[in-house]
Amino acid sequence: MTKALVTGANGFIGSQLCRALITQGYAVRTCSRAGQGPDNMLVDLAQPEACPPELCAGIDVVFHLAGKAHALAENHQDAAEYRQINTEGTRKLLEAAQQAGVKSFVFFSSVKAVGHGKQQPMDETVNDPARDPYGLSKYAAEQLVLHGGYVPHPVVLRLSMVYGDTGKGNLPRMIRAIRRGIFPPLPESGNHRSMVHVEDVVASALLAAEKPEAAGQIYIVTDEQSYSTRQIYDAIRAALGKPPVAWSIPMPLLTSLARLGDGFGRLTGRRFPIDSDSLEKLTGSAWYSSAKIGRELGFQPRQTLWKALPDIIRHLS
């Protein structure tokens, strides 16, 4: 029986991955800072101490999800924590995996690990490191996984924004704001956003661990759809049973408000609800291609946001 170690097993993706692994016949050991289960180890990868040798003993494949998530506003303290948790925590886990003779290591990274390329949609050939602290910490961890020589089968999954039955993240916040009537009708900017359902993330991870051709590769994971923010807004309103909105706030007005928000932030040291960064996240593009994982591993996403929205909204109700 193949034995897997899942870090971050209590999280949104990790909990669903554990269930899928057990269904597939894996024996599963979990690693978390506060977890339960017959084979759970309480390990905090944020601490400077090395991982205990028994963490990876008898393990065939590691699925590494634990890390410090991306925050809308980052400061110098966050930058140090990102390095300690996302980069050095990964290094410690890789060292433990190497000492235990682990064969496969699947690292859950993010499309935010790299900067923006000119081609649209972007693919794995865009490989310049990001400039923000979160992206840099993920990129550095990727390099350790792929080029550190720790395991014979290292794989990096760069996830686009993950959706599903969770109350955390930008999509649930947007749904709650639209339900309360406080999310403004943005104009159709023609932007492109890539996303992926948690079930398809789990499917991609199993392929990455099991397919020999995945060794040493980076794969972007999306649901192969392209969503504009206005399309998402309209779809959420429809799923909530709200009537369509025919008007939108003019982009010049939004830009002016964002500039005011920038000034407020500089004066007070606190972020205004709308500034240039948040406006870019709402109206800019983050468009990625998952053609490589489909071509090489046979990945075929089964979900789209349009199909999943009713279930997501029921979960949030």
pLDDT at residue 17 tops 80: yes
Compute the average pLDDT of residues 140-149. 98
Q: How confident is the model at residue 244 (pLDDT cuts 50, 70, 90)?
A: very high
CB-CB contact of 282 with 229 (8 Å):
yes
Q: How confident is the model at residue 174 (pLDDT cuts 50, 70, 90)?
A: very high
CA separation for the pair 89, 35 (Å, rounded): 18
pLDDT digits (tens, 9 = 90+) for 189-217: 999 999 999 999 999 999 999 999 999 99
pLDDT digits (tens, 9 = 90+) for 60-102: 999 999 999 876 555 555 889 999 999 999 999 999 999 999 9
pLDDT at residue 36 tops 80: no
Summarize the chain as % helix, strand, coil (round to 5).
45, 15, 40
Helix 12-23 and helix 198-210: axis angle, to 10°?
Answer: 50
Q: How confident is the model at residue 116 (pLDDT cuts 50, 70, 90)?
A: confident
Specify the amino acid at residue 252: P
Q: How confident is the model at residue 289 (pLDDT cuts 50, 70, 90)?
A: very high
pLDDT digits (tens, 9 = 90+) for 231-240: 999 999 999 9
pTM beyond 0.85: the answer is yes
Compute the average pLDDT of residues 23-47. 86
Q: What per-residue confidence (pLDDT) applies to 45? A: 87
Q: How confident is the model at residue 264 (pLDDT cuts 50, 70, 90)?
A: confident
CA separation for the pair 95, 50 (Å, rounded): 9
Arithmetic mean of pLDDT over the chain:
93
Q: What per-residue confidence (pLDDT) applies to 73? A: 57
Q: Which domains does the chain have, with CATH numbers?
A: 3-159 (3.40.50.720)
